[in-house]
Amino acid sequence: MSQRISEETGNTEHAHNSEHDLSHLPQLPPGVYIPAPTQTPRRKTRWSDAIDIIFEKDPACRNIFEALLYQSLWAIIYHRIAHALYNAHIPFLPRLISQFARFITGGIEIHPGAQIGKRFFIDHGAGVVLGETTVIGNNVMLYHQVTLGATGWWRRGPGRLQKRHPTIEDDVTIGVGAAILGPITIGRGSKIGAMALVLESVPPNSVVASKPAELLVKGGEALEKHQELTQGWNSNDPWEMDYQI
């Protein structure tokens, strides 16, 4: 009987140890550590539209105090206020609030007229621009340096009050540096890759990506398949190559 209990205890301890075995992870440099994995669920608060979305979208956020430091949180709070005043046709004050928010959030510029749904999140936040007639659905995530802007076509039309900026439907993710311009629609559940320039509507559940960078010179030698781009380069003179680039 005691032997059986001992065997069961040993099996339980082995399973417990294997569950948290980190030996398969790569070795970290001295002084660098990562917390052990945990089964504890992420914190839930009363503010699912503003705070909980940060925990869900960014695993680097550890607690509510860190969440309060996110520029995205304050950008959306100030925008809700400015948008309400904008809809009430109060002059000047909405733009003043939006410009103040731009200053304290490191460059998140949201026009008071932009319509933004629930659970909106901007990761990092710097250099984001959302135009006046932008419409954003629920559960949309943007990375830094995203522009939802106009193309200037409206100058030839009846006036600036027309729809000039994109409509972003629910559950869309837009990567860093992407520019979506004009009165187009990004369909529900789509993903826009980093640095993409989007000028036409995108169907739901689609992926749009720009062409990634290509290797032109390897080991100081220009690659043959890109001779048309490297023609005339002097690979022996790095200063000259810097100038040509």
Q: How large is the average pLDDT for residues 211-227?
A: 77
Residue 105: CB atoms within 10 Å: 23
DSSP 202: B
For the chain, the average pLDDT equals: 81
Between vectors from CA 213 to CA 210 and to CA 214, what angle results, nearest 5°? 125
Token pair 């909106």 is at which residue?
120
Please tell me whether the overall predicted TM-score, pTM, comes out greater than 0.85 for this model: no
Q: What is the separation of C-alpha 116 from the centre of its chain, rounded to a whole number of angstroms?
A: 15
What values do phi and psi take at 212, rounded to 5?
A: -70, 165
Q: Which residues of 49-83 are buried (b: 16+ CB within 10 A; e: fewer)?
A: ebbbbbbbbbeebeeeeebeebbbbbbbebbeebb
Q: pLDDT tens-digit profile of 116-153?
A: 999 999 998 889 999 999 999 999 999 999 999 998 75
Q: What's 65-208's CATH class? A: mainly beta
- So what's the pLDDT on residue 38? 46
Q: pLDDT tens-digit profile of 69-123?
A: 999 999 999 999 999 999 999 999 999 999 999 999 999 999 999 999 999 999 9
Amino acid 61 reads C
| Of 36 and 211, the one with more pLDDT | 211
Q: Are strands 217-218 and 221-222 parallel, antiparallel or unpaired?
A: antiparallel
DSSP 33: -
Q: Where are the domains of the chain?
A: 65-208, 214-245
Indicate the Cα dihedral angle 86, 92, 93, 95, nearest 10°. Answer: 70
Q: pLDDT tens-digit profile of 170-206?
A: 999 999 999 999 999 999 999 999 999 999 999 999 9
